Amino acid sequence: MSQLRGNKERIIKTATKLFIENGYEKTSIQDILDDLGDITKGSIYHHFESKEDIFNAVALEIGGNNKILFNDVRDDVKLTGVEKLRSILLCSVNSKNTSQLINMTPNYFENPKFLIAMLNQIQEVSIPQYILPIIEMGIEDETIQTKSPNELAELIMILLNLWINPLLFGGTECSLKVKCDMINNILKQYGFILFDEEIMSNIAQYK
């Protein structure tokens, strides 16, 4: 049993390396096998149904590393709700994990299943575990003004994960700044802005 678990971990580790180096589309099951050297194709298919399944496992592990950072921000009693929103965004932008995911993620338009998986992650994890609780904290400490915290959480996540996602809309550094300014203008009616100068200077790397 321990050997099987060890093989699964090795497959994920090797796939992560190859996905980062070559991208999802240019990495095959055979490439993963060749890099591992001593694991058979049958062993891979014992743990994973497909290359897509391997990618999902890789993304889940990388996302788990981000969750550790996000938990610390959400639970920091010294920060206001708005400060927590900005800190989570800054953690995400600066995280090596985020950069890795962007580099390895396949084209959403050619692989819509991955876009659906991202949307499910937003609905099932990001909003209920982080964004919504933080907005509710902001309402309590009066740094966020809204009577519709659920809808505000959804709006923020749609704007951040879809509209300014370089894998969906691309764009230049200038257009990205325009979008961030527009998001700030939208959020001013709720008593805060999301993108300060520090976040703006860091987010430009994903243009």
What would the pLDDT profile of 132-190 be if each residue is shown by its tens digit? 999 999 999 999 999 999 999 999 999 998 998 888 887 788 888 899 999 999 999 99
Q: What is the mean pLDDT of residues 14-28?
A: 89
Q: 60-83 pLDDT, tens per residue?
A: 888 777 888 899 999 999 999 999
**160, 47 in Cβ contact below 8 A?**
no
Q: What is the distance between the alpha carbons of residues 95 and 85, in angstroms, rounded to a whole number?
A: 15
Q: What is the distance between the alpha carbons of residues 147 and 125, in angstroms, rounded to a whole number?
A: 22
**Percentage of the chain surpassing pLDDT 70?**
95
| Amino acid type, 155 | L
Q: What is the distance between the alpha carbons of residues 51 and 31, in angstroms, rounded to a whole number?
A: 11
Residue 2 is predicted with a pLDDT of: 53
Place of tokens 């991208």: 23
Q: Taking the model in full, what pTM does it have?
A: 0.82
Reference 155, options 196, 194, 116; nearest CA is 194
DSSP, collapsed to helix, strand or coil, labels residue 170 as coil
Rg, C-alpha atoms of the chain:
19
Q: What is the distance between the alpha carbons of residues 106 and 114, in angstroms, rounded to a whole number?
A: 8
**145, 139 in Cβ contact below 8 A?**
yes
Which of the 8 DSSP states describes residue 189? G
Helix or strand holding residue 7 (H, E): helix 2-22
Q: What is the distance between the alpha carbons of residues 101 and 16, in angstroms, rounded to a whole number?
A: 9
| Helix 2-22 and helix 29-36, axial crossing angle in degrees, nearest 10 | 120
Residue 89 is predicted with a pLDDT of: 92
Could you tell me the two tokens for 32?
């993963």
Q: Is 185 exposed, middle or buried (0-12, 13-18, 19+ CB in 10 A)?
A: exposed
